[in-house]
């Protein structure tokens, strides 16, 4: 008797399975129509993506029919449903949207149960639909989890490549292309923050990125050797951001590279920051963070050719071209130990004349010779400017200049 009942159940299930198979086309059409009615984001999708969604839906229905007709088939095979679509579809449709799709599919199938199964089989069919849809949801979640994991791994590698390019001093379109692949969207200025990598346990790159992201539109984070590098893009106040992010670094000095217009030029900011970090020990009283531009004298003395040229171009040449004996006055003032009276006596002018010229100096360049730190910058600029003026063309340019990639 039990064998006869089992045989009858198999026969009924097979009959329902044949009805399901015959109705696959009708179900697919009904599902796509319902998707178009219920889901605005589906209506807005490009035709190619809509076509792939339809293929996935039809694959799901076919898989359900095969499983229902062959109960011995492992239900785990529902993962094959998602293999019908390209990987790009996972980026076009979120997991939430996938579940909305599944809900519509189940809703349509349940409505058609009276047409697909006889009264004695309807309850079993509904239960089978719910069970299968649950497995499809789990399989979909697994697909998205794997895609997110793979994307996270690839993003980490890509970010490491961008940071490595900055370390080497590379720049140009390739850097921008790789950063765009990471999702870099900022069109604002860019600057590099560089310092010792954190020594505290548990400080992950992701935590650093989260804190840095609160101060900039976009950011990239990487650790190279024992140094932490943060690229900030679209920041309203880089100096303030650097001060707030200083806790992310180790106890050593932190340097803020100069602002550049685009991410493609970030290599210049990174080179300046690295040069400044090498030279910052020569200024014990440097703030934290210290701007790379504020370490021009130390960088130039350490062999940074770019810093030497900047001192000549932005300090020495403007004074030499301003006239009014400004260059001579500054030179004499520094040689006289910053004494107005001694400078006036040496130049045979009144102290007020010296005072007036020094004020003019502070208007021509952003350095006040009456203050100690700016006076040091001016003295170094004068030294390098005089050497450049006396040296044969190209001689100083061939002087030692450490490789920007020699971290």
pLDDT digits (tens, 9 = 90+) for 171-226: 555 665 656 556 677 788 999 999 998 876 445 677 888 888 888 888 888 877 78
Report pLDDT for 359: 93
Report pLDDT for 147: 54
Beta bridge partners of 219: 232
User: Are 319 and 225 within 8 A, CB to CB?
Assistant: no
Report pLDDT for 103: 77
pLDDT in tens, 90-111: 556 666 777 777 777 777 777 7
Cα 168 from Cα 174, distance rounded (Å): 14
Report pLDDT for 283: 95
Give, in words, the CATH class of 303-398: mainly alpha
Q: Where in the chain is the domain with CATH 3.30.70?
A: 173-291
**1.10.12, 3.40.190, 1.10.3470, 3.30.70: CATH of 173-291:** 3.30.70
Residue 157 confidence class, pLDDT cut points 50, 70, 90: low
Q: Name the E strands within 149-279.
A: 190-196, 218-224, 227-233, 254-256
Cα 220 from Cα 139, distance rounded (Å): 33
Nearest to 53 by CA among 67, 66, 38, 43: 43
Report pLDDT for 165: 65
User: Are 166 and 270 within 8 A, CB to CB?
Assistant: yes
**2.60.60, 1.10.540, 2.40.160, 1.10.490: CATH of 2-150:** 1.10.490
Summary mean pLDDT of the chain: 78
Q: On the CB side of 227, how many CA atoms lie within 13 Å of its CA?
A: 21
Cα 59 from Cα 36, distance rounded (Å): 18
Cα 101 from Cα 39, distance rounded (Å): 8
Report pLDDT for 9: 58
Cα 227 from Cα 195, distance rounded (Å): 6
Least confident of 53-62, 94-103, 140-149, 284-293: 140-149
Q: Where in the chain is the domain with CATH 1.10.490?
A: 2-150
Neighbours of 117 (CB within 10 A): 23
Report pLDDT for 34: 84
Report pLDDT for 406: 46
């Amino acid at each position: 008797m039990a064998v006869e009942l089992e045989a009858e159940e198999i026969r009924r299930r097979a009959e329902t399975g044949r009805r399901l198979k015959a109705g696959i086309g009708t179900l697919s059409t009904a599902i796509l129509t319902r998707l178009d009615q219920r889901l605005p984001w589906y209506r807005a999708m490009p035709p190619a993506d809509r076509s792939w969604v339809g293929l996935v839906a039809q694959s799901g229905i076919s898989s359900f029919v095969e499983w229902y007709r062959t109960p011995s088939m492992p239900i785990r095979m529902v993962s094959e449903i998602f293999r019908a679509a390209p990987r790009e579809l996972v980026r076009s449709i979120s997991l939430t949207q996938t579940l909305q799709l599944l809900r519509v599919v189940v809703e349509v199938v349940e409505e058609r149960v009276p047409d697909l199964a006889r009264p004695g089989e309807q309850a079993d069919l509904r239960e089978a639909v719910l069970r299968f849809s649950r497995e499809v949801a789990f399989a979909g979640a697994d697909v998205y989890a794997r895609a997110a994991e793979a994307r996270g791994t690839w993003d980490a590698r890509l970010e490491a490549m961008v940071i490595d390019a900055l370390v080497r001093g590379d720049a140009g379109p390739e850097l921008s292309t790789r950063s765009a692949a990471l999702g870099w969207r900022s069109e604002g200025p860019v600057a590099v923050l560089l310092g010792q990598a954190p020594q505290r346990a548990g400080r992950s790159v992701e935590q650093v990125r989260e804190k840095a992201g609160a101060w900039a539109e976009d950011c990239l984070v990487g650790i190279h050797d024992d140094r932490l590098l943060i690229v900030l893009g679209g920041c309203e106040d880089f100096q303030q951001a650097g001060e707030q992010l200083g806790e992310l670094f180790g106890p050593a000095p932190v340097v803020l590279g100069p602002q550049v217009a685009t991410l493609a030029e970030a290599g210049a900011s990174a080179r300046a920051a690295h040069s400044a970090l090498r030279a910052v020990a020569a200024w014990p009283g440097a703030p934290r963070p210290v701007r790379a531009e504020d370490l021009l004298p130390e960088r130039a003395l350490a062999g940074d050719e770019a810093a030497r040229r900047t001192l000549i171009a932005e300090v020495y040449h403007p004074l030499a071209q301003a006239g009014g004996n400004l260059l001579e006055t500054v030179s004499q003032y520094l040689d006289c130990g910053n004494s107005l009276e001694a400078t006036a006596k040496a130049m045979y002018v009144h102290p007020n004349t010296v005072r007036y010229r020094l004020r003019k100096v502070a208007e021509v360049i952003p350095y006040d010779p009456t203050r100690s730190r700016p006076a040091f910058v001016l003295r170094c600029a004068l030294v390098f400017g005089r050497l450049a003026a006396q040296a044969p063309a190209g001689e100083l340019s061939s002087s030692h200049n450490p490789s920007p990639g020699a971290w």
